[in-house]
Structure 1
Amino acid sequence: MVRFSAAASSLMCATGTDPYLGFYYAKEGFVQPQLTDVAVAVASRVKTFLADSLLGKLTKAQPEEVKAPPIEPATGVPMRCGIFDKHRKGSKIFLSPSKQMAAVTDSVGRIVLFSVFQNTATRIWKGYRDAECGWIEVEDSSPDTAVNGVPRRTQFLIVYAPRWGFVEVWCPHQSSRVAAFEVGKGGRLVYNNYTLMGLNNVLVKTVRPNTYPCCYMTAEGKLYAVAVPFHRVL
């Protein structure tokens, strides 16, 4: 079987230790069957057909045993590149809605902003131990700035510092802090703008975004949605 199109691949990011952040590429494909396996399968089917058709069934048919499907062995995903740091342990990955950027928290109180497809770090924030992050995507409501009817979009990084009791809004493109709010300690930043794993760049655009992708929950259980106007990026 000849495949003329390029094999599709999925990029997966994982954080932890050794490496601190790894980029893995899983290719979609198939395993070419061996000719010996094909010959054995064909011979078995021919033998069964001749025995049933020519000789007939001399004995009463016995109920076939239901066999459990074979478990395929696990396949290792090769790592394309990784960032190694023996003094740093990655904790969580927060992927942006556009899948272009990711914020990674670690064990030394850092938040590192990565360009996913370039595999490089673009910004580091210090002093954010046990921080929680999230993303929101905002559209420009002005029709004069739309390009071919498509409104402009931008993304903001939301950071909750539990030891300080602040929620901060950052513009990752300009590395500037847009706003900061004192919300108190003991809360949680809830980021739920995730989709099914394995969607390609075409299918992922058909998924409807959540109405409230990033919310803050207080220690008393009150839920607040995080909203930022588009002009804050200007």
Structure 2
Amino acid sequence: MWRRSHATELGCIACEELSQVGAGKEGWLVDDPNLLCALDTHALALANRSLILVLGWSDPDAPRLKIRPDLSPIASEHITAVEWLVFDEIRVVVAGTSSGYFLIYSLGGDLIHKQMIYPGRILKLRVRGTKRDLIQDTSSEEVCVVMPGVVARCDGSDIQSMLQQWFQETHTQFWDQKPKRRDFEGSETPYGKLPFQLWNVSKYGSCADAAITGIMPPPLMEHQSSHRYFCAVAIGEDAVISAFRLSEDKSRSLVGAILSKVVPATFSTIASFSRMIWRSEQTSPGKSDVKPQSFARASPLTCLKDHPRKGEKLTLSPSGTLAAITDSLGRILLLDTQALVVVRLWKGYRDASCLFMEMLVNRDTAAPSSSSYEPVKSDYCLCLAIHAPRKGIVEIWQMRTGPRLRIIQCVKGAKILQPTYRFGSSTSPYVPLEVFLLNGDSGQISVLNRTLN
């Protein structure tokens, strides 16, 4: 598999419950396109079309949680994205569905929140944040919901306020008091709707993945206002890379106005026709269909079209200033998200996956000789871990133009994962960005070592 000096084994997730998400055959972890993975520091969430399985590896006797979301059989609704949300003592699992619903579940399996983001398939849930430092003027924590041609952003503080309200309510009950049963039908939610911004980024075609890279300055010759501007990068079939300036202003473009009217009307018509055929009686007679939120303004910045190249996966660096993009031609592009230029290119990596990590490259010369010395942020160097499954290796490259530092052999059914961003995490002691390696055949999970020696 891999050398012991390159990775440290942490535990094993093998259990009988894994068979419910496809385990038991060779390559089950990577061959099933409907199998989704999300990693926390000590737990893993695996999801297929209708089940979310949460399990840990540090305690083999710990109970495994099974979450079965209430999905619509009429619309053939299924789970399309899964992620963790971690706020200090609060840890919850978030799922996105093919009908555009955003679901939050507790680790007890209770549904905390359900909200429609936009009618359509949720492709990815991105949880990230940037702290105020020498490069970033402001701090920002967010959850980004990616859909074909649509990007939504929810501020981390709004989600934290809602989860704190839920946490206080559930933990102030008496031990023999059962939790209140909530009604999630229609558009009503027990803790109110989460505010979010919605943008249309389909000017250059439907996107396969997208990300909000950070806050950017307003356009030239435009008056200063209290609205913030964000930069978004999208990849897809028509445009390998496209970038947009997103405004919090609700002044919509003509295309956004048309889409906000036509798409919801079409969705509502199809849903009404389906209910007429199936004669569904589950919908409350007094509640109307959920109306999608109107689009805010999205201005195109640049676009790279290179037919037949298609963008497939996008990975952001911790600060959001770099993005690694894999395409259909087996190439990996390193994009500077501030200058919006490709600064590096790798070839010959078909079906590759990329994750950024931090390594102690100059640990022996830069750090004091004391064995009790704790590395600080300046001791680490940003690197890119490239998993090439066809080659059976994981390569680690130093950013931005540095050499290849390491080659790690891995099995065919392995997958690289990364723990989700922890909201409000303290800066001392500094926790570096790590990459984990999950062996699907054996269930062993390991972490790539941060030192070269």
Preserved contact between residue 193 and residue 213 of structure 1 (Cα < 8 Å): no
Equivalent in the alignment of 2:330: 109
> Aligned in 2, Cα 1:205/1:173: closer, same or farther, shift over 3 Å?
farther
Report sequence identity in percent.
Answer: 26
Does 2:367 align with 1:142?
yes
> Aligned in 2, Cα 1:74/1:181: closer, same or farther, shift over 3 Å?
same
Preserved contact between residue 248 and residue 296 of structure 2 (Cα < 8 Å): no
> Aligned in 2, Cα 1:143/1:13: closer, same or farther, shift over 3 Å?
farther
Larger radius of gyration: 1
> Aligned in 2, Cα 1:114/1:195: closer, same or farther, shift over 3 Å?
farther
**In structure 2, C-alpha distance between the alignment counterparts of 1:205 and 1:15, rounded to whole Å:** 33
**In structure 1, C-alpha distance between the alignment counterparts of 2:331 and 2:388, rounded to whole Å:** 11
Equivalent in the alignment of 2:350: 129
State TM-score, norm by structure 1. 0.66
> Aligned in 2, Cα 1:19/1:5: closer, same or farther, shift over 3 Å?
same
> Aligned in 2, Cα 1:205/1:93: closer, same or farther, shift over 3 Å?
farther
Residue 160 of structure 1, aligned match among 374, 387, 390: 387
SS at match of 1:78: strand
> What is the deviation of 1:134?
0.7
Note the residue ranges of structure 2 that are not aligned, 5 or more in a row: 1-222, 252-285, 370-375
C-alpha RMSD over aligned residues: 3.4
Equivalent in the alignment of 1:175: 402
Equivalent in the alignment of 2:241: 21
Residue 316 of structure 2, aligned match among 88, 91, 95: 95
Equivalent in the alignment of 2:307: 86
**In structure 1, C-alpha distance between the alignment counterparts of 2:422 and 2:303, rounded to whole Å:** 24
Does 2:447 align with 1:225?
yes
**In structure 2, C-alpha distance between the alignment counterparts of 1:189 and 1:107, rounded to whole Å:** 20
Preserved contact between residue 384 and residue 399 of structure 2 (Cα < 8 Å): yes
Equivalent in the alignment of 1:9: 229
The structure whose RCO (Cα within 8 Å, separation 6+) is larger is 2
1:187 corresponds to which letter in structure 2? A
Equivalent in the alignment of 2:378: 151
> What is the deviation of 1:68?
8.2
Preserved contact between residue 97 and residue 137 of structure 1 (Cα < 8 Å): no
> Aligned in 2, Cα 1:170/1:66: closer, same or farther, shift over 3 Å?
closer
> Aligned in 2, Cα 1:24/1:84: closer, same or farther, shift over 3 Å?
same
**In structure 2, C-alpha distance between the alignment counterparts of 1:205 and 1:117, rounded to whole Å:** 26
> Aligned in 2, Cα 1:17/1:70: closer, same or farther, shift over 3 Å?
closer
Preserved contact between residue 354 and residue 384 of structure 2 (Cα < 8 Å): yes
**In structure 2, C-alpha distance between the alignment counterparts of 1:68 and 1:209, rounded to whole Å:** 47
Preserved contact between residue 143 and residue 151 of structure 1 (Cα < 8 Å): no
> What is the deviation of 1:163?
0.6
Equivalent in the alignment of 2:44: none
Preserved contact between residue 102 and residue 114 of structure 1 (Cα < 8 Å): yes
Deviations 1:128-174 (A, max 9, x none): 00011111124667269xxxx97344211001110111011101223
SS at match of 1:151: helix
Preserved contact between residue 377 and residue 432 of structure 2 (Cα < 8 Å): no
Preserved contact between residue 97 and residue 193 of structure 1 (Cα < 8 Å): no
Preserved contact between residue 165 and residue 184 of structure 1 (Cα < 8 Å): yes
Preserved contact between residue 193 and residue 214 of structure 1 (Cα < 8 Å): no
